[in-house]
Structure 1
């Protein structure tokens, strides 16, 4: 583990890591549940680890050196929270395997809100009105179908209900007026588009114009592997067509987003920040070509900097905040964190701002604090299915290749979560998510040229790999990466560049049987 104490060689980036790990960020006032603190750790009721536990954790999470058999507990990627593999599309929709009978009811209530179809105001169904006026989907489930991955439009007639375009412009003032930005080193200050906000909505309630229609064009490139195999890669071009409110800002930066899978989020939230920061090497001091950086973002919930964990660029610090942001931007539903009744409408969209919304005296916002707690609990407790074929010789060979190519430099295999006094489902679990939750430069091929927080236009958060082999079963497709351009795992690998270029090139030169073993290993996750 790299020391984070102050030393003469530490750069500003390392000083930021040291500050966060040392706990110099003040604690926030927090509700009883969920309870969050600063330092990037979103839990207050943490039981400190003993020296003996730290030694056990180091042994349990040590990288594999023997590939003749599976590691201990590897078949249970979520520890005691692991769930059995269902044979149908509901494989990602089960509660944590160690959830109590009483809390399973809370999970089901949260699921009901996650699946709820919202309607426009005014409506006789007061508990469900408040949709829009502009929106991308009528429910969380419409984007995160079966709690799995979304997909880009399949053809010209396919709507983009699980895909949209984020939009922003550079802040001409550099964030100088913002206390939030001033406290975060290396923050890249941006602003929403003055007319269209921070994301484009392709649906609207009656009487309002939608903001745009997403148009995607693909150009194919043939990549020839060393053994002569040809793989076609799709190069997407995105257009915000049929703009409903005039032109975008001349400096508008657009970035596509496909809804990611939902499993294991609570366990990712429970990884100690210090363990994630220990993997950060922003200046590549060890010279291995990998320079993972944490995204430190401003938490609206706690009015302080926190470690970003969620979103394709790690732009959100907690499940609660990520969920509330999605309610506002995707559905146009107000929450205690984002209470605007008009959702993501801007001041320039005057008709949208003046529309009737669903806030009322009983709830205050269209979904209230109790409802947000239920949705957060549901999202936190979506179970990770068990691994398959962990002792299969081909899977073990693929695992060895995965390690030997350096893939684990970003896709960190395992962690042990905090001991959490009030979250037994996520407490002290050995988990295998295959992510470091850090930002990495993925090269020009995947660059969206749109910064987010400290993330540059070439950086993306390492996505968790658990459950990736069940994508077709759950989602009905095998589209991967932030915009679904890759139609297979091999295509996804071939898009890797930047810090992953060497590993990608090594895959190109693999014999066919080793390449097949690598894919078989990934499909076992």
Structure 2
């Protein structure tokens, strides 16, 4: 097991005492309750600012559920190997990584490869123009819908991707400068010839904490923020993705992934096992790549390489990971930065507050006031960030608003500050200045700020 399951450092009495001792006068976005801003995950908030901040189990799970979380924790970190093997067989034969943890290091954010490094924490989606049977991207014959850049001994990987960057310098209104690096991606050494019209989209691994709380937000509450035709004329036209649910065999609301192309944590986890590691399961029983020579050792229940119980345990593990608490909420600079975040319009997409629906089967998820700073909707981010690869209803320039909770602890937990879907931004300010499309007005307001105001905005983001 990669770590022992930790109890979230929050219980009702201690939390109230902690907050009362730490806070000063403050105005919360949520319910005019200044205490709530500390509690990013509601009652499922962990007070930990260290390297393990993203890896805490939900508070007050009964013993039998805590055990399931613990089993899922071990499976999340388990390294798969080629079959036959007594433990964790079934890797590949072509794959991107050998475990969930290898991409989602410490349950956090992947980084882009440095010079001479492999793309271990990112993958590359592939498709052809058009729509598949369910409105999905069209797989590439011989490659499927993502590029597997690793292979077992004597098995040929599908290819590699060469990443290069071009630096460009821009100016803020006060005359100071900033640099943005524009990535370029080239598929090299494909095992067979790729079609000339293949669409390629990079992805870094996203954090996995708090996902159960996001899944707990009702479809109706997400749709209440959708305004695809911008009827209120505020320039923000968030829309929901409609994606194929393999289990329900129908289209449903998408809410996970960089383009909200997955409907549930169970399907997200099952797809990652299948596509990233080459592990079959009851949701995706076939090897992921279309046309490659595959080897299926038929290990596990129902001849799947991952048993149903282990798949469900990993789903439960990520479902019950707590959210790190806000920090420095009452710091004057952070308070100023929060005001700038709101006045610039960032809050229109990065919604501070949400409430989970009633959940009688798992009360720890039920009716929680949380502060994820996302609306879980798709927004057009302009040509600068476009991958030009549609994904169900998401266009080539639309991305789901990523949650911002915990973002200020990225460097502490993951040792880097790579942000956005492909990690091109090297810090939070660069991430802001890449915004375009619906966020262009907000970006321009940030560009007009003084350095002191920009620093306050970054300090606020760092407190999340």
TM-score norm. by structure 1 comes to 0.81
1:287 counterpart = 2:226: no
1:117 counterpart = 2:52: no
Tell whether the 8 Å contact from 2:300 to 2:306 is kept in structure 1 after alignment. Answer: no
1:76 pairs with one of 30, 39, 42: 39
1:151 equivalent to 2:95? Answer no
Match of 2:55 in 1: 93
Match for residue 216 of structure 1? 163
1:134 match: 94
- Range moving further from structure 2, 209-218 or 133-142: 209-218
Flag structure 2 segments of 5+ consecutive residues without an equivalent.
1-26
Contact 1:134-1:344 at 8 Å conserved across structures:
no
Q: Deviations over 1:456-486 (max 9, x none)?
A: 0000000000000000001100000000000
- The equivalent residue for 2:272 is 326
**Shift in Å at residue 513 of structure 1?**
1.1
C-alpha separation between the residues in 1 aligned to 2:343 and 2:137? 39
| Distance in 2 separating the partners of 1:283 and 1:72 | 36
Match of 1:478 among 388, 404, 417: 417
Residue 9 of structure 2 corresponds to which residue in structure 1? none
* 4+ residue segments displaced more than 4 Å: 61-66
1:503 to 424, 432, 442: 442
Q: Secondary structure at the match of 1:166?
A: strand
8 Å Cα contact 1:221-1:232 kept in structure 2 = yes
1:273 maps to what in 2?
219
Pairing of 1:148-227 with structure 2 (within 5 A) = 148-155=108-115, 157-171=116-130, 175=132, 178=133, 180-181=134-135, 190-227=137-174
| C-alpha distance in structure 2 between counterparts of 1:132 and 1:360, whole Å | 13
Change beyond 3 A, Cα 1:367–1:435 = same
Q: Which secondary structure does the structure 1 equivalent of 2:362 belong to?
A: coil
Match of 2:80, SS state, is: coil
CA gap of 1:424–1:432, structure 2 versus 1, over 3 A, is: same
Q: Is the alpha carbon distance of 1:205 and 1:74 closer, same or farther for their aligned partners in structure 2, counting shifts above 3 Å?
A: same
Once the two structures are TM-superposed, the CA of residue 382 in structure 1 deviates from its matched residue by 1.2
Task: Give aligned pairs, total.
Answer: 438
1:345 Cα deviation after fit: 2.1
Of 430-439 and 89-98, deviating more is 89-98
- Cα distance in 1 for partners of 2:298, 2:363 equals 35
* Paired residue secondary structure (1:517): helix
1:410 corresponds to which residue? 349
Distance 2:123 2:327 in 1: 33
Post-superposition offset of 1:206: 0.9
Task: Measure, in 1, the Cα distance between the counterparts of 2:299 and 2:99.
Answer: 20
1:239 Cα deviation after fit: 1.0
2:284 equivalent to 1:338: yes
Are residues 1:312 and 2:272 paired?
Answer: no
Q: CA deviation at 1:361?
A: 6.3
Offset of residue 190 of structure 1: 3.0
| Deviations, residues 268-288 of structure 1 (Å, cap 9, x unaligned) | 000011111000000000000
1:494 to 427, 430, 433: 433
Matched, 1:521 2:460: yes
Tell me which residue corresponds to 1:28.
none
Determine which of 378, 381, 403 is the counterpart of 1:464: 403
Cα pair distance change 1:62/1:290, threshold 3 Å:
farther
1:429 and 2:368 aligned: yes
- Larger mean CA deviation between 70-79 and 210-219 belongs to 70-79
